[in-house]
Amino acid sequence: QTVYLNGQFVPMTESQISTQDRGFLFGDGVYEVIPVYQKQLFEFDAHLERLKNSLQATSILNPLTDAEWKKLLDELIQRHPWEDQFIYLQVTRGIQMVRDHLPADCMTPTIYAYTNPLKPVSADIIENGIKIVTLEDIRWLRCDIKAITLLPNVMMKLAAKQQGADDAILIGRDGLVSEGSASNVFMVKDGTLITPPNSHKILPGITRLVIEKVAQNHQIPLLEADITLDELLQADEIWLTSSTKEALPITQLDGKPVGNGRPGQIWQLLRQHYQAYKADFLNA
Ligand code: PLP
């Protein structure tokens, strides 16, 4: 497996970065995860836009032009045999020899990217959905930045597992649903799809964006609105969405069935439309 590091493609087993990299020492960096279908980057412009927003918000220099980003990721894809992949790319602020929270001026960012095969979601999950617990959202107040600093997400994922669940839906200090530990949340109530509005409390998910587009194209009623824990508990359907999982149906929430305890009808419908959207993209 080959990875991209600072302008070069090298075997993964030989790629090395400095122990003085601020990504390692401070978690001072941002990242993206981009799905690839039939060797084509999916929704690349939206992912690049979000990367640029994360870099700008953290005052990390964007080291490459749009065309250079595209070229390097396309080359990374072509160097691997898998038709469907997901790319992880990370930009950290760079290397600093003397410890200081304040970054030096004009640092050279560290650019790293690698790819993995993208496996379809298992038949078991499609058939039966997944179990979720609600947990307090213990993260910071700039979750719109895709920061590499993921310790709270890791802790919440572990807590969910300890409770026998597959994942967690996070409830903010304001009592409102924010998102999943690595996904956005949708619920269905009386035929309307509802998702929390974009804000500093959630990541503006690209899959969320595609689902909104697909729902609008097919006249599925859609609302961006705050969701309380009570409303979530009364939902007919709940989904988690992300680039590597698309939309996952949640069939159990805090030990109780969601709706009739089976993946919902609107989810089935949206899944079909989503696959058609992907097929159109690949044929374009
Ligand atoms: N929210 C969080 C916290 C995430 O980590 C992710 C993706 O991993 C998402 C939402 C979903 O974003 P996307 O659909 O762009 O993958």
pLDDT in tens, the chain (284 residues): 999 999 999 999 999 999 999 999 999 999 999 999 999 999 999 999 999 999 999 999 999 999 999 999 999 999 999 999 999 999 999 999 999 999 999 899 999 999 999 999 999 999 999 999 999 999 999 999 999 999 999 999 999 999 999 999 999 999 999 999 999 999 999 999 999 999 999 999 999 999 999 999 999 999 999 999 999 999 999 999 999 999 999 999 999 999 999 999 999 999 999 999 999 999 98
Domains by residue range for the chain, with CATH? 2-117 (3.30.470.10), 123-283 (3.20.10.10)
User: Nearest C-alpha to atom 3 of ligand 1 is from which residue?
Assistant: 182
**Which residue among 52, 70, 146, 245 is the active-site one?**
146
What 3-state class would DSSP assign to 183?
Answer: coil
What is the DSSP code string of 74-124?
HHHHHTS--SSEEEEEEEE--B-SS--SSPPSS---EEEEEEEE-PPPPHH
| 112 class by beta-carbon count within 10 Å (0-12 exposed, 13-18 middle, 19+ buried) | buried
Question: For this structure, is 146 an active site residue?
Answer: yes
Retrieve residue 122's tokens: 């298992």
Residue of 183, 198, 199, 239 to mutate, ligand 1, most atoms within 8 A of C-beta: 183
Residue of 177, 199, 242, 245 to mutate, ligand 1, most atoms within 8 A of C-beta: 242
Task: Give the ipTM.
Answer: 0.99
